[in-house]
Amino acid sequence: MAAAAIAALTVFAILFLWVESETAVAGLVLAAAVVVVIGGRLGWLGQVQAAFGQHETLLNGGVIVAVLAITAFFYRDHFALLMVATVLLYILACLGLTIQFGYAGILNFSGAAFFGIGAYTAAVLTAHTLVPHLLVLLAGGAVAALIGSMLIYPVLRTRGHYAAVVTIAFALLFKTFLEVNDVLGGPQGLAVANMNLFGWDFGQGVELGPLEASFILNYVLLASLLVIIGMLLVKRLERSWIGLDMDAIRLDETASACFGIDPARWKITAFTLGNFLAGVAGALYGMMLAFIAPNNFTFADGLIMVSIVLLGGIGNPWGVVVAAGIVIILPEKLQVIQEYRFLLFAATVILILRFRPGGLLPRGLRQYFPGQPT
């Protein structure tokens, strides 16, 4: 059951990335909606979910195979691969937001800003230093976490909507700052060097015997690796006592403090770790695009990240995967209807929120033993 579901999803993703005419795109979206509705009525969705819960290893392996299959299918298509890589990097950044928001309950609207800090760090480091590029990725995350630490004090002191305004103000501040300063290229932006991993230049196409693949394939592979690490981290974190503490803090700070959990400690940990992940994702994103500008990291992009977390089902890493795919790829594929794409996208999100307020894949109860009924 689980394997069949993954296979079906893979075929669907390939088809969706492949088709170009508007009737085909619309047809696929409609078909997916019909399948989901009918599947929901017949109880398939529940069975699939249960199957995934029981065979988690199969799910993990299956999804990796699926990503590889999609990548292999489009090995020469720059645009499709670019979308796959973008989705993967957004997943990584949104996993960071999941730690912050899904577990510790810190709402962060400036995810795109930390993403951007990573990208700009990569630009500066690759242009002016000889730091190995793998370290540049880590440095991107570290700088994002460091700059994010300036927000820790206000974030810890504020709650709810008041906390939201701190990160909203930071997101706007960051973009304005990038636009007006001269050192970081101003509104025109900066060039970023290509990733070079121990002499493996990511800017070159990959030659596999007679086949020459797009250079973005390199980035897809590295981004997949990073997402796998990120997923492992988030899953382990959720299962561990740290995740349990964070859940307790999110649900009731006062009560958890009474039981000896230090809310400040875990909130700081979650916030820093989340920004680190966003920064790493941003660093690789910058290298992939080769050119970054303030307009890549606006407040609106931060909102897109929040919508991914929310649509996926807050706190569920798999939800992030599904929602990132929808949120990033759908507007791009709707390009055939150009003008109306943001309109339709926004309307879709409203409908999902209106009729499925828990998100597409709501987070289930914590499962300590795979296969056990919860």
Partner 1 sequence: MDFALLGQFVVNGLMLGMMYALVAVGFTLFFGVLDVIKFSHGDVLTVGAFAGLTTWLGLVAIGITSPWLQVGAVVLVATALMALLGALIAQFLVLPLKAAPPLNTLLATLMLGTVLRESVRIFYPDGANPKPFPALLPTDAFSFGNFTLRVDSAILLLAGLAVIVLVHALINRTKLGLAIRAVAQDAETAQTMGINFTVVVLITFAIGSALAAFAGVMNGLYYNEINFGMGLLLGVIGFSSAIVGGLGNIYGAILGGFLFAALQTIGAVALPFASAYKDVFAFAVVIAIMAWRPTGLIAEAESERV
Sequence-distant (6+) residues with CB within 8 A of 349 are 307, 311
Q: How far is the CB of 307 from partner 1 (least distance, A)?
A: 6
Question: CA 344 from chain center: how many Å?
Answer: 22
Q: How far is the CB of 154 from partner 1 (least distance, A)?
A: 4
Q: How far is the CB of 151 from partner 1 (least distance, A)?
A: 7
| Binding residues with partner 1: total (CB under 8 A) | 40
Taken as a whole, the chain contains a residue count of 374
Q: Name which position in 134, 135, 165, 232 contacts partner 1 (CB under 8 A).
A: 165
Note whether 289 binds partner 1 by CB under 8 A.
no
Q: Are 115 and 93 in contact (CB under 8 A)?
A: yes
Q: How far is the CB of 57 from partner 1 (least distance, A)?
A: 33
Note whether 335 binds partner 1 by CB under 8 A.
no
Strand partners, 191: 291
Q: Report the interhelical angle of 78-97 vs 56-73 (nearest 10°).
A: 150
Q: Report the interhelical angle of 263-289 vs 133-148 (nearest 10°).
A: 140
Cα dist from 77 to 13, 124, 193, 212, 315, whole Å: 15, 30, 22, 11, 33
Note whether 183 binds partner 1 by CB under 8 A.
no
Q: Name which position in 43, 160, 209, 260 contacts partner 1 (CB under 8 A).
A: 160
Note whether 220 binds partner 1 by CB under 8 A.
no
Note whether 65 binds partner 1 by CB under 8 A.
no
List binders of partner 1 among 5-24 (CB under 8 A): none
Q: Are 110 and 163 in contact (CB under 8 A)?
A: no
Note whether 177 binds partner 1 by CB under 8 A.
yes
Q: Report the interhelical angle of 2-18 vs 22-42 (nearest 10°).
A: 160
Backbone angles phi, psi at 213, to 5 degrees: -100, 160
How many Å apart are CA 79 and CA 81, to the nearest integer?
A: 5
Q: Name which position in 52, 75, 120, 170 contacts partner 1 (CB under 8 A).
A: 170
Q: Coil, strand, or helix at residue 231?
A: helix
Note whether 158 binds partner 1 by CB under 8 A.
yes
List binders of partner 1 among 305-334 (CB under 8 A): 306-307, 310
Q: Name which position in 70, 107, 273, 327 contacts partner 1 (CB under 8 A).
A: 107
Note whether 337 binds partner 1 by CB under 8 A.
no
Q: Name which position in 66, 233, 353, 360 contacts partner 1 (CB under 8 A).
A: 353
CA 31, 33, 34, 38 dihedral sign is positive
Q: Name which position in 295, 350, 364, 370 contacts partner 1 (CB under 8 A).
A: 350
Alpha-carbon torsion, ordered 341, 342, 344, 348, to 10 deg? 130
Q: Name which position in 340, 364, 366, 374 contacts partner 1 (CB under 8 A).
A: 340
Q: Which is nearer to partner 1, 314 or 321 (CB)?
A: 314
Q: How far is the CB of 109 from partner 1 (least distance, A)?
A: 10
Q: Which is nearer to partner 1, 79 or 342 (CB)?
A: 342
Q: Which is nearer to partner 1, 99 or 151 (CB)?
A: 151
Check residue 215 and report its DSSP letter: T
Q: Which is nearer to partner 1, 207 or 339 (CB)?
A: 339
Q: Which is nearer to partner 1, 21 or 338 (CB)?
A: 338
The per-residue DSSP string of 142-166 comes to HHHHHHHGGGHHHHHH--HHHHHHH
Q: Name which position in 9, 169, 229, 336 contacts partner 1 (CB under 8 A).
A: 169
User: What are the DSSP E strand ranges found in the chain?
Assistant: 190-191, 196-197, 200-201, 206-208, 211-213, 291-292
Q: Name which position in 166, 190, 222, 292 contacts partner 1 (CB under 8 A).
A: 166
Cα dist from 79 to 20, 84, 264, 289, whole Å: 12, 9, 43, 12
Note whether 347 binds partner 1 by CB under 8 A.
yes
Q: Are 118 and 283 in contact (CB under 8 A)?
A: yes
Q: Enumerate binding residues for partner 1 (CB under 8 A).
A: 107, 151, 153-154, 157-162, 164-166, 168-170, 172-173, 176-177, 179-180, 254, 299, 303, 306-307, 310, 339-340, 342-343, 345-347, 349-350, 353-354, 357
